[in-house]
């Protein structure tokens, strides 16, 4: 074996004298002749260069390793940034002494010092005449007719260069870390439906989570606006090219000239896809600069998109260049010290068994962080509440690791904490329990907005921590008293009363007199509906909180238990697109519900007022309503069918975000309460056909109502408009279907320029609505599918006539 290896080296040494002219020739036109080779040798920077010398192809020694990566890099930049490497998701790492040869039959072949084949370019047809490294950074194998047989631009890794594109089905994969080129968790994919998405995968599998960015350039059978490929042109624009030739720019930003700057678009190991530039004429210590990046805030990645860029119990902070940094909170440390983006572990033991044996105040202290949250880890919400109460509640709860306090609301969270982030817009306090015995350990400290200020100033931000130690004895006394009182009621009351105890923990129980005073004896009426009359009020919590008070009509009289059970279900819901229930009144025959007050009123007044809302505002509202219904149908502990989705029951907050109200109240009404004065629950124009046919009622009744609502949002028109001069336009659902069938969707938006600029989205939204209002419930999609269709993740097929039994054509 040693003899054969020696002979092989001698032959290569002899042959190298004959390839010297080839190497020299490659400096002028980038061509590499068949038979040329390079060796992986420490300190040897031999490579094949592009004609300008901008790019190099060869071996790069990995940092702190005796391994080499066959790659392409910028030859004139000090850091020699790598833009491509062999074998993509499973990089071919070669030991010292490995060789890369250019062969006629197999193209580029990488072998070990012993002659074992690591990787080859695998040209499927033709014979390689030569290779050429272009000034674009593309290494191409060509035949005798200068036709391309294989090229690096078609074998994607983590970076795109000007002149490169990604066809449908193609993807960029991130690295695992800055120095580890193995396949990472993030992907940029050009889907078959024309949508460009960023998503995470669950390693070691290729299971793709829902996207955290989408270009929404999907199309359908009747549209020519679907994306065909992602292009990076020589002018510095990165865009999705549509079938009709239109270009969807990923980001509206000033372009950077490729003549004066090196450009690259890279999917970084932390999931940020960014366009970078570097001055070609630079002579000093210059680094790459960012033109733009996606997404805008990687730290705000939704829980549906998988675990965030930072590991469990970690906190993500966005830097000025919109790249994230991850750090463990005090009292926690990295599970793997070599992975700063990995999981954090507590430096103490937290469990209920230990807490029972020792005093809580002896085990823990509290660290306070501003504007920090782990939004997906809460198990209990308390409202109305104080900061002191929030801190104490978590401190004495052996399940609680962190409590977040914001706007009189306390969220208690348990380990592991996921998707942590710092956001100055939160205006919140995070109370973190930390084991006392490890308080002196040197652990990473989380930067806060007040870092660098005087310690005295920092101390003023933590009043609760100091108060805690002074009042802990009193708190313990109150808790012991509360526990004793709880046992008294447990033994005194039967199981039915436990429901009330759970309810009282989460919701405030008001007396009828309190609500009379809060509403000034029900003076200011905000509206009426099938569920009752709504009044504006103000309850005295702190400086006073504005609320809406709903007096329910003809509430079920079967039992006190049923009312409290249903209200309890409503009170436990927590979603950004639902109106928050503050409390209730159950006194004699009076049943009232108290909700947060939303300043911008109902969607009805917003849509049908004198000023037409913008197209962008309307589609965001549609997304919000769909997300809220999905939560009610599938994601809360008890499935809730709303039964009366309409614009009057959609409220808008200060930022015009949609918030569904009156959810869960259908079960509280007697059967004869509705707008239509029949056993049907709902409002004329929004009621699903199965209500009239004595069919089983499912969540599909809400899907039907949402379809009608979606058409109203699109058209800014009421579902039934008998005052309209044209009879054919009176019923909105029928008229929109006719417009869709005749291909005149511009009519439904009254030629609105903003909507017509996104005609593919307009058509998609209309098609989704038409699927939702199908007479046959089995044809209607679920709200989960509706959300995915609106987002462009699921293809929308051509809908049939929504009411084939009641109309002709």
Q: Phi and psi for 286 in degrees, rounded to 5? A: -115, 145
Give, as one character, the DSSP assignment of residue 177: S
Whole-number Cα distances in Å, 731 to 650, 708, 723, 738: 21, 10, 11, 11
Asked whether residue 761 is marked as a ligand-binding residue, the answer is: no
Ramachandran angles phi, psi of 739, nearest 5°: -65, -40
Rounded (5°) CA angle 176-182-184:
40
Residue 507 makes CB contacts below 8 A (sequence gap 6+) with 567, 568, 571, 581, 582, 583, 584
Nearest in space to 680 (alpha carbons), one of 644, 727, 718, 638: 644
β pairing state of 590-596 and 581-587: antiparallel
Structure tokens at 444: 């990473």
For residue 54, what are the CA distances in angstroms to 40, 57, 81, 227, 559?
Answer: 21, 11, 11, 32, 81
- The whole-angstrom separation of Cα 809 and Cα 799 is 14
Report helix, strand or coil for 661. coil
DSSP letter at 555 equals B
Give the closest residue to 81 by CA, choosing from 294, 353, 263, 304. Answer: 263
Which among 683, 681, 687 has a CA at the least distance from the CA of 669? 681
Of 524, 367, 388, 507, the closest CA to residue 443 belongs to 367
**Among all chains, which residue has been given the structure tokens 């005449």?**
129
SS3 at position 478: helix
For the stretch 5-20, what's the b/e string if a residue is b when 16 or more beta carbons lie within 10 angstroms of its beta carbon? eeeeeeeeeeeeeebe
Which residue in 644, 653, 662, 702 is the catalytic one? 644
Question: Quick check: is 644 catalytic?
Answer: yes
**CA–CA dist 89, 87 (Å, integer):** 6
Three-class SS state of 651? strand
Cα within 13 Å of Cα(170), Cβ side: 19
Known binding residues for ATP: 551
- Residues belonging to the active site: 644
Known binding residues: 551
């Amino acid at each position: 074996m040693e003899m054969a290896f020696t002979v092989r080296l001698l032959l290569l040494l002899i042959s190298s004298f004959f390839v010297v002219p080839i190497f020299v020739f490659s400096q002028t036109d980038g061509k590499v002749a068949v038979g040329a080779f390079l060796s992986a040798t420490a300190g040897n920077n031999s490579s094949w260069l592009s004609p300008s010398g901008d790019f190099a192809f060869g071996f790069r020694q990995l940092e702190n390793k005796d391994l080499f990566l066959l790659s392409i890099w910028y030859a004139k930049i000090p850091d020699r940034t790598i833009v491509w490497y062999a074998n993509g998701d499973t990089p071919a790492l070669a030991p010292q002494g490995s060789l890369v040869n250019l062969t006629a039959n197999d193209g580029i072949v990488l072998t070990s010092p012993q002659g074992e084949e690591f990787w080859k370019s695998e040209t499927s047809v033709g014979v390689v005449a030569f290779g050429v490294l272009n000034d674009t950074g593309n290494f191409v194998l060509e035949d005798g007719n200068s036709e391309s047989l294989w090229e690096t631009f078609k074998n994607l890794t983590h970076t795109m260069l000007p002149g490169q594109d990604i066809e449908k089905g193609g993807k960029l994969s991130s690295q695992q870390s800055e120095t580890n080129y193995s396949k990472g968790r993030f992907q940029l994919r050009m889907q078959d439906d024309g949508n460009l998405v960023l998503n995470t995968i669950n390693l070691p599998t290729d299971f793709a989570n829902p996207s955290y960015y989408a270009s929404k350039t999907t199309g359908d059978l009747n549209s020519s606006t679907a994306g065909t490929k992602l292009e990076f042109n020589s002018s510095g624009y990165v865009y999705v090219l549509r079938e009709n030739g239109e270009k969807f720019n990923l980001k509206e930003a000033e372009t950077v000239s490729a003549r004066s700057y090196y450009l690259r678009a890279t999917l970084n190991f932390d999931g940020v896809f960014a366009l970078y530039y570097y001055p070609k004429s630079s002579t000093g210590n210059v680094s790459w600069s960012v033109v733009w990046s996606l997404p805008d805030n990687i730290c705000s990645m939704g829980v549906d998109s998988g675990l965030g860029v930072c590991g469990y119990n970690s906190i993500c902070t966005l830097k000025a260049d919109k790249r994230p940094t991850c750090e463990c909170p005090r009292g926690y440390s990295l599970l793997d010290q070599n992975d700063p983006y990995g999981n954090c572990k507590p430096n103490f033991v937290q469990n209920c068994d230990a807490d029972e044996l020792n005093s809580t105040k002896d085990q823990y202290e509290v660290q306070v962080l501003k504007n920090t949250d782990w939004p997906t880890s809460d198990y209990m919400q308390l409202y109305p509440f104080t900061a002191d109460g929030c801190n104490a509640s978590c401190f004495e709860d052996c399940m609680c690791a962190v409590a977040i306090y914001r706007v009189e609301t306390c969220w208690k969270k348990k380990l592991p904490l996921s998707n942590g982030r710092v956001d100055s817009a939160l205006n919140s306090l995070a109370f973190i329990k930390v084991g006392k015995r490890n308080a002196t350990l040197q652990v990473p400290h989380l930067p806060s907005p007040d870092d660098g200020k005087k310690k005295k100033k920092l101390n003023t931000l933590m009043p609760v921590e100091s108060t805690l130690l002074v009042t802990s004895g009193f708190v313990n006394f109150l808790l012991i008293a509360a526990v004793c009182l709880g046992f008294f009621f447990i033994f005194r009351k039967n199981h039915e009363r436990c429901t009330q105890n759970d309810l009282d923990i989460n919701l405030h129980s008001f007396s009828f007199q309190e609500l009379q005073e809060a509403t000034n004896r029900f003076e200011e009426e905000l509206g009426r509906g099938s569920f009752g009359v709504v009044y504006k009020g103000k309850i005295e919590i702190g400086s006073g909180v504005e609320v809406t008070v709903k007096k329910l009509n003809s509430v079920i009289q079967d039992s006190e238990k049923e009312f409290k059970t249903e209200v309890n279900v409503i009170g436990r819901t927590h979603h950004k697109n639902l109106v928050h229930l503050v409390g209730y009144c159950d006194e004699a025959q009076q049943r009232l519900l108290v909700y947060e007050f939303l300043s911008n009123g109902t969607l009805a007044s917003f849509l049908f007022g004198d000023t037409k809302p913008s197209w962008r505002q309307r589609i965001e509202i549609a997304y919000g309503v769909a997300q809220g219904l999905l939560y009610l149908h599938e994601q809360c502990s008890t499935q809730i069918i709303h039964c009366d989705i309409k614009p009057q029951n959609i409220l808008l907050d200060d930022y015009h975000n949609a918030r569904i109200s009156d959810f869960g109240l259908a079960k509280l009404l007697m059967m004869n309460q509705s707008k239509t004065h029949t056993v049907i629950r709902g409002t004329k124009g929004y009621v699903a056909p199965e209500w009239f046919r004595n069919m089983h009622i499912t969540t599909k009744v809400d899907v039907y109502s949402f379809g009608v609502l979606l058409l109203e949002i699109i058209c800014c028109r009421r579902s039934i408009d008998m005052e309209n001069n044209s009879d054919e336009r009176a019923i909105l659902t029928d008229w929109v279907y006719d417009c869709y069938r005749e291909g005149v969707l511009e009519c439904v938006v009254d030629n609105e320029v903003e909507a017509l600029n996104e005609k593919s989205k307009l058509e998609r939204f209309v098609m989704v609505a038409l699927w939702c209002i199908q007479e046959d419930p089995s044809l209607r999609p679920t709200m989960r599918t509706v959300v995915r269709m609106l987002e462009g993740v699921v293809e929308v097929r051509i809908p049939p006539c929504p009411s084939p039994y009641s109309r002709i054509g």
